[in-house]
Structure 1
Amino acid sequence: MRAQLLDAARPASVVDVVRGLNVIQRYPYADIAPSADLVLWSRIGARYEPDDLQRALEVDRSLLELDGMIRPMEDLALFLAQFALPPKYAKTREWLELNHEFRDDLLRELYDRGPVLARELPDTARYPWPSSGWTNNRNVTQMLECLMMRGEVAIASQEGGARTWDLAERVYPEGLPVIPVDQALAMRDDRRLRSLGVAPAKGPKQPLEPIDVGPAGLPATIEGSDVAWRVHPDVLPWIDDDFEGRTALLSPFDRLVYDRIRTQGIFEFDFTLEMFKPKAKRRWGYFALPILHRDRLVGKLDASADRKAAALRVNAIHEDVPFTTEMRNDVDAEITALARWLGMRVDRVGSH
Structure 2
Amino acid sequence: MRILVTGGAGFIGSHYVRTMLTGGYPGFEDAEVVVFDKLTYAGNLTNLASVADSPRYRFVRGDICVQADLDAALPGVDVVVNFAAESHVDRSIHGAADFVLTNVLGAQQVFEAALRHGVGRVLHVSTDEVYGSIDDGSWTEDHLLEPNSPYSAAKAGSDLIARAYAQTYGLNISITRCSNNYGPFHFPEKVIPLFVTNLLDGERVPLYGEGANVRDWLFVDDHCRGIQLVVEKGLPGEFYNIGGGRELSNKELTEKLLDATGRDWSYVENIVDPRGGGHDLRYSVDYSKTAALGYAPRMSFEDGLALTVQWYRENRAWWEPLKAAAATAHQEAGSQDATA
Give the structure-2-normalised TM-score.
Answer: 0.26
- The answer to which structure, 1 or 2, has the higher relative contact order (CA under 8 A, 6+ apart) is 2
In our comparison, the structure showing a higher alpha carbon Rg is 1
Would you tell me which structure has more helix in proportion to its own residues?
2
